[in-house]
Each structure stands twice: as C-alpha cells, then as structure tokens.
Amino acid sequence: MSTVAHAEEAHHHGPEPGLLRWVFTTNHKDIGTLYLFFSLLMFFVGGTMALIVRAELFVPGLQLVDPYFFNQMTTLHGLVMIFGAIMPGFVGLANWQVPLMLGAPDMALPRLNNWSFWILPFAFTLLLSGLFMPGGGLAGGWTMYAPLFLQTGQAFPFAIFAVHLLGMSSILGAINIISTILNMRPPSMTLMRMPLFVWTWFITAFLLLLAMPVLAGAVTMALTDQFFGTFFFSSAGGGSPIMFQHIFWFFGHPEVYIMILPAFGIASQIIPTFARKPLFGYASMVYATASIAFLSCIVYAHHMFTVGMPLAGELYFTYATMLISVPTGVKVFNWVATMWKGSMTFETPMLWAISFVILFTIGGFTGLMMAISSIDFHYHETYFIVAHFHYVLVTGAAFGIIGAVYYWIPKWTGNMYDEHLGKIHFWLSNIFVNLLYFPQHFTGLAGMPRRIPDYAVQFTEWNMGSTIGAFGFGFSQLLFLYIIITTVRGGEKAKARSWEGAYGMEWEVPSPAPYHTFATPPDVDKVRLTIS
Amino acid sequence: MAEAHGGYYLPQPSHWPITGSIALFTLFFSTASWFQGAAWGPWGMLLGFALLLVLLFGWFGTVIGESEGHLYDAQVDLTFRWAMAWFIFTEVMFFGGFFGALFYARIFSVPWLGGDDVATNVLLWSGQALDWPSKMAPGLTDLDFEYMPAWPLATFNTIFLLSSSVTVTIAHHALKEGDREKVKKFMLITVGLGVLFLLVQVYEFHHAWTSENLTLASGVYGSTFFMLTGFHGFHVTIGTIGLITITARIYKGHFTPERHFGFEGIAWYWHFVDVVWLGLFIFVYILA
C-alpha cells in the first residue's frame, strides 16, 4: 500500500477522540462535515435575518424595526447567505464527494484544506461583530457600493478584513480542488470520465481564482479611501464611485456562476440515478459548463445598465448576456432528455432535482428578461430582481445543496433518512418558497423598490403572501434539521449502493464511507461508472 | 497525466491551520480596532504579526522537514506545482484589479470629469480642465505635486529586477548541473538585487512624499501610483524573504539536481513580481 511510515499510520488510524479532532483534522470527510454544518448554521442565521425583513414587510408602514436596522438585516442576509451558506455548502459537498467520486485517497493538500475551513468562523466573527459596535453592522447592501459603504460606522474595517479572509478561504479551497482533480485521479479516471459534479466544481474553482482576488482589491481600495485619503471612488480627486461598481461586478458576475455551477453538477448526478438512464449528452454538459463559465466573465456590466454606460456598452452587455442562455438551454434540455422515457422513481433527492430544473429555469427566464438593457430600466432595483435571484439562488443553489444532502447522506452516515419526512419537507418547502418569491415578480413589475422597509398600500396582499411564504419556508427547514440529526443518529442501514440506479466510484465503498478510502488507486476500468 | 502509485503523503492532523486562523484574526481585529481609534491596536497587531511569523516558520519548517525526510513522491511534487502556479494566477488577478482602477481612471473618469462630460465637468469642477497625471483636482485646491518620472529611479529598478530574474535562472541551471558553489554565488547576487530594488523604492517613496508632495492623497494619480507600486514592493519583499530562505537552504545542503520544487516555486514567484513590474514601468511610469 504505502512505503511511507507516516501515511501507513494514518491509513490505519480512525479519527482522533475528542473535540480537538475537528480542529486539527486533515481528513477530507471531517472537513466536509465541518463545512456542511457551518453552512447549515449560517443558513439559519441568514434565514433569521430574512425573516426579520419579511416580518417588517408584512404590512406597509414601519412596525417592528427601525429602517437602519432593516438595512443591516438585508445587507448581512445577503453576505451571510452567499459567503456563509451557499459557498461553504458547495465546498463541503466537494470535500466529501470529489475524492470519493474520483477514487482519490484525500484532497491534494489536506492541511490547507483544514485552513480553508477554519478561516471561515473567524471571518464571520469579524463580519457579524459589527452588529454590536457603534454604528451597527454593514447597511449599504451586500454589494458594498462606495460611497455609501464608506459611511458604515465602527464595523467598516472589520467587514473589509472579513471579506479578505473569506476570499482567502475560497482561494485556498479552489487551489486545493484544482490540484486534487488534476493530480489525484487514479490513472484510469480520465478527465472525460469524471462525474459531472466533479467537472462543474473543477470549472467553478477557476472562476473563484479569477474573481475573489479582484473583490479583495476592490474592498482594499475602499479601505484606503476611508483611512489613507486615496481617491479611487471619489470624483473629488479624479476617481469615480462607478469605478467601484465595475471592479465589484467583475468579481460579482463570475460569483453568481460560482454559486450555481456545482448545483448543475448535482442535478446531473441525481437525475440519471432516478431516471435509470445515463446522463444525456455528457460531453455537451462539460462544454456547456465551460462556456457558461467563460461567458460569465464578460457580461458583468448587465448589473449596471442604469448607472450610465455608452450605448455600445449597453448593447454589447445585452447580447453577451443573452448568449448565456444557449449553453444553459443545452443543460436544461439534457436533464429533460435524461428523464425522457426513463424508469423514473421519485425519491426525495429526485424531487429536489426536478424542482431545481423547473424553478431554476423560471429564474433563468426572468434573467433573460433583465438582460435586455432597454427593458431592464423599467425593473432595475425593484422586487423583480429580488424574485429573479432568489429563484436562481434559493430554488437553484440551495435546492441543489438540499437535494445533494438527501442523495449522499446514506453514504456519509450509513443510514437512510426517513423517506416520508423527506417528502413532507420537500412539499412544504416547495409550496412555501413559491408563495414567498412568485408574488415578488408582480410587485416588482408594478414598481415596488427593493431594500426599502415601507411600501405603497397597493402592494399589501402580495407582500403578506410573501411573508407567510417566508415563515413557512423558514420553519420547514427545522424539519430538515430534524431529518439530518435523526439520520446521523440512526435509521435503516444504507447499502453500499444506496440507490438502485446509482453508479460511480463513491457507490463502490461501504456506507458509511470508511474514514480512509482508496488508499491505493482503484482500477476504474473495472467499475461501472454509469447506469446503462 | 500524473501517475498515482499509492503512498501519496497524507499528513497527520495538524495544529498549524488553526494557529494561522488565530494569527490572522488577531492581526485583522487589532488593525481594524486601531483604524477606529483603539490605543491598544498596535500591540495587538504586533502580537498577530508575531503569531504569523511563528506560523510561517512552523508550517514551512514542517513542510521542509517532510521534504528533506523524503516523504514526498513525484505526485506530491506535482501537486505543489499546480498549487503554486494557480496561486500566482490569483496574485495576477489581484494586481489586475488595481490595474483596472488605473485604466478606468485614465480612460474614463479623469477625461469625463475634466471636460469630455460637459455637465459633470461644469457642475462638479467649475469647468476646470484636467488631464493625466492630474495635478489639479477641483476637490483639492492645494494640490501641487510632481509626478514620478521613469528616469532615473524606476529605470534603475527595472534593470535591477530584470537582472535578478536572469541571475536566479543562472542559479537554477547551476543547481540542475550540481554546481552548488555557483548556485550560492548567483543566489547571493539575486538577493542583493532584490534588496537593492527595495532600498531604491524606499528612497523613491520618501523622496516623493517629502520633496515632491506626492502622497496617497494626491488625487487618483497618487492613489494608483502608491497602491500599485506599494503592493508590488510588498510582493518583492515577500519574494526576497523567499529567496533568502532558499539560499539558506542551499547552504544547509537542501535540494538535489532533480528535486528542488521549493527553489523553483520561489523562482516562479520572482519572475511573477518581475512581470508585474514591467507592467508598472510601462503604465505607471513611462506612459504617465
């Protein structure tokens, strides 16, 4: 197995006893678990902030919180959900699944892997400590636009350093994932044999490397503008506030795809399993993912149609953005074609995956509407955009993560979850999430501005619906928490191949997956990688 | 593609990552508190920085020990190569953000404010004309600074840095040929050139700040000049420390003609700061 004494020892050892195991661990499964639980915690923290926002918006007028606190809640809800819930959720899945799906012994750089995770709690301590400082937490929106951002109170430099740490964590994680995929595959696991989840994460990791350092640069300029008298974002010295938006969205748009590409990969794993057919158009899926990633880097200014841009810019960004729907359409077509004439069953992961395809596509369509610059002027900065990005991020990214948890939790814990409860969780979430976000399309088109704690009375009924949906969706997730805890603690034993149609390296190891897997590279040629 | 042949080195649980997190948290929390007026800030920063040094010595020391203990095979070596290459890519993107700010200021914001956009110019700046490097800015009435010319300091620094890229390559070839005396000689020259570069830059900054009235607050020209050259100088400092480290390792007998990724990684990094400097020399100095 190994000629190296230390490695030999490590392979035979189980986890260390005690809580310090989780602090010092270099095991990809431990670190994946840490990431996933952290993501769940942040999901509830960010969700609570969202419920405060929705409670205030239940009826017009100012009832519960003062507007400044409302602004802090909208801002921190965005940052916590993006950097705390969605991204760590995906990284946690990558940690668990990428080595297992490749047949690799661990991540390529295990100590660095630990560091990527353990930066996060410190970063969020910095970010959220602002709430308890004079002037409160960040309140200028998650996009941190200068000059409003510079008017933050004591929390300002803490938030900037928090963003630096979050960027560091993401970059180290992305480097690790790239190194793992390029260098830890068994010889017979060629690139075009890799499961789609691994492919989508591979491409996502490059987007992280491309985008996160630019965000670090942008907030550093904001920091020096505030404390060292520079003039990057101030017209008084020849700079421009619009410059911040350009630099921010150069990061921000790839970031959007960082948060959805791994979910594409998850859907591409789940749907073939429960349709009992191989994924339709594997190669086109890979190329479509790469095309989306490339296009995501050259369309960023569609976030800025109304801030002032030359006409040529408006036109270019309109057309380039609409181009993204071509590879995305390829993907949606392939998922549907995979299900076509399949022997489908509808276990909970499949329900989430199908719901993902439908609801993400709705989010995609509204995105297409806003890509058209001339029309975007009408619904820029209204609830229409709120509805759009929550359809792609909640029913897209978050649904992808939840579906992945149901799909792989038998492998992680060795136990099956309660199928009945899983289905109840699914239906409650789906009914409430649509009650929550669908009306926002209407209020947005009718002109209700986002990020404002009060609104005109004619929007009342739709907002009441939204708020009821929000509380219903939020409290349904307590059922998810209950299902996770009960599955970790016990339940029907899972087989190595936990689903009848599940094929791939991860289903070749027992459930739960042993602490160390694939100490010697497996011969992938001898394994059935897809159902057929 | 890489051959996977079992025995990939998987480290034991380690306390270095959490040490690193605590060090960064201490450093950042203290710095932020200091910015907001906390008197204890510098002491906290000092503590954070000390912890960071402990981390760097400890973690890199562990890795060097493992490497010299022959725990790493060719596959681990390749992991380091991919990781270092993509790390340098992120550094390029970081500088890309600041170059982006420079280009935006030069191509868009300064010309627009300076008259191309008539309404903005008249309303904000009372019709004052403006060009690059903007020695006038309407918000800054007492702005009277000299911009930093390419000759002589920056040109000398270009020569120093380009030469050091050559000398580090000569040292690398000597290492591959097993001529360790030549490696030592050329590494010392490389370190010397790096230090020389930094000394000249310190002089340049001091001169600009005190004699030319050119500061971070000298309009967007001063902001981009100091942030770009300052961050570059910071990276040269890191690179020089790296060069000193591998030189010391050469003296201790580390590296073989076949296996010396620690050396190559620093050499790559040094070439990276070299290339960024060329961008700076052209866009910040020559085309100023």
A203-241: pLDDT as tens digits: 999 999 999 999 999 999 999 999 999 999 998 888 999
Cβ neighbors of A384 (< 8 A, separation 6 or more) are A366, A370, A440, A441, A444, A445
- Give residues 82 to 121 of B whose Cβ lies within 8 Å of A: 82-83, 86-87, 89-91, 93-98, 100-101, 104-105, 108-110, 112-113, 120
CA dihedral B146, B282, B200, B231 (to 10 degrees): 90
Short-list B75, B32, B28, B68, CA closest to B47: B28
pLDDT for B13:
93
Query: How many other CB atoms are found less than 10 A from the CB of residue A167?
Result: 25
Q: For helices A241-258 and A282-296, what crossing angle results, to 10°?
A: 170
**In one letter, which amino acid is B141?**
T
pLDDT for A189:
95
pLDDT for B139:
62
Mean pLDDT, chain A, integer: 94
More confident residue, A235 or B280: B280
Q: How confident is the model at residue B142 (pLDDT cuts 50, 70, 90)?
A: low
Look at the pTM and tell me if it is higher than 0.90. yes
Say whether pLDDT at B129 is over 80: no
> Which candidate in A29, A56, A74, A106 is catalytic?
A106
**What are the domain boundaries of chain A?**
31-526
- Give residues 433 to 492 of A whose Cβ lies within 8 Å of B: none
The reply to whether B195 touches chain A by the CB within 8 Å rule is: no
pLDDT for A481:
98
State pLDDT tens for residues B219-244.
Answer: 899 999 999 999 999 999 999 999 99
Residues of chain B neighbouring A308 (CB-CB closer than 8 A)? none
pLDDT for A132:
95
Percent composition of chain B: helix, strand, coil (DSSP 3-state, to 5): 75, 0, 25
State pLDDT tens for residues A45-64.
Answer: 999 999 999 999 999 999 99
- DSSP label at A447? T
Q: For helices B74-104 and A241-258, what crossing angle results, to 10°?
A: 150
Domain A31-526 has CATH 1.20.210.10: yes
Which whole number is the average pLDDT over B17-44? 96
Residues of chain B neighbouring A184 (CB-CB closer than 8 A)? 4, 8, 75, 79
pLDDT for A333:
98
On whether ipTM exceeds 0.90, the answer is: yes
Residues of chain A neighbouring B86 (CB-CB closer than 8 A)? 174-175, 178-179, 209
Is omega for the bond preceding A522 within 30 degrees of 0, making it cis?
no
pLDDT for A3:
37
Q: How confident is the model at residue B135 (pLDDT cuts 50, 70, 90)?
A: low
Closest-CA residue of chain A to B62: A111
Low-confidence residues of chain A: pLDDT under 70? 1-13
Residue % of chain B over a pLDDT of 90: 76
Nearest to B6 among A157, A238, A519 (CB): A519
State the Cα–Cα distance between residues A389 and A396, nearest whole angstrom. 9
Q: For helices A196-227 and A87-102, what crossing angle results, to 10°?
A: 140
pLDDT for A7:
42
> Which candidate in A180, A318, A328, A466 is catalytic?
A328
State the Cα–Cα distance between residues B266 and B274, nearest whole angstrom. 12
Residues of chain A neighbouring B44 (CB-CB closer than 8 A)? none
State the Cα–Cα distance between residues A478 and A425, nearest whole angstrom. 9
Query: How many other CB atoms are found less than 10 A from the CB of residue A510?
Result: 12
Say whether pLDDT at B159 is over 80: yes
State how far the alpha carbon of A365 is from the alpha carbons of A203, A285, A385, in Å.
23, 20, 12
Surface-to-core class of residue A17, CB atoms within 10 Å of its CB (0-12 exposed, 13-18 middle, 19+ buried): exposed
